[in-house]
Amino acid sequence: MIAQNAYSNAMGTGVEDTLKDFLPFIKYNAFRLMNRLPPLLTVDDLISVGIMGLLDAMKNFDATKASLKTFAEFRIRGAMLDELRNFDEVPRSLKKKVKAIKAAFATLEAELGSTPEDEDVAKAAGISLDEYYKTLQGAYGAITLRFEDFGANLPDGESMNIEETIPDTKAVDPLANVVENSRRKILANLIDQLPQKEKLVLSLYYWEGLTMKEIGLVLDITEGRVCQLHSKAVIKLKAKLGDDKL
């Protein structure tokens, strides 16, 4: 009902055709995030938030920087994730353990010069191996991989605004292309350092749009194990970037 009201109210603004074009995308993303919904939110609420994100994108869209499709899809996803974070009910104890694991991984990797084993990370974080795996599984939904997470602490000291890396479809700037390619290589290099299964989970989840359950079927592992691999991969990336957020 909320989504229907938001949609109906938007109809009066003269953007009906655009809303109809984007509604399938909005619904797809809302249902994809369904397994992360807290008790106080529904899929209908996420659809409504997605519509608001689209309207915000249309209001702030700059045709000289990107296509409306690219810009709007980014805003829609961002609005939905922000809404989920606003209802974040992750216990402080879990957040504390995740931060301890992240710090332990960063310290051990710096000391060893290679990716530490799970047993070593758990020991350095002051928790048992069983608790370590339970934390990783419980952390799914509390931590996500977002492109904007890679904005403040890139390894070369540069900052990156995701909107600035969206290609301009109406002009070709060789220097901008070089900078964008450099930033993409930094992110790609960080992901490439992950173990094969962790890379595959990130690829299937973020780029192919598969759910955790579907990824489990593809890799022939349990959904819980997929959640663990996802959480571990994201924790590693954030640790490499010095990101102190979940």
Residue 35 to residue 214: CA distance in whole angstroms: 13
Burial of 94 (0-12, 13-18, 19+ CB in 10 A): middle
Domain positions in the chain: 2-86, 92-241
CA-angle at 105, arms to 100 and 110, nearest 5°: 130
Answer yes or no: is pLDDT of 106 > 80: yes
Would you say residue 119 has pLDDT above 70? yes
2-86 is a CATH 1.10.287.110 domain? no
Per-residue pLDDT tens digits for 58-101: 888 777 777 888 888 888 988 888 888 776 666 777 878 888 99
According to the model, what pLDDT value does residue 231 have? Answer: 87
Among residues 15, 10, 96, 14, the alpha carbon closest in space to that of 47 is found at 10
Which residues sit opposite 143 in a β-bridge?
140
pTM for this model (two decimals): 0.50
What residues contact 126, with CB distance under 8 A and at least 6 apart?
Answer: 100
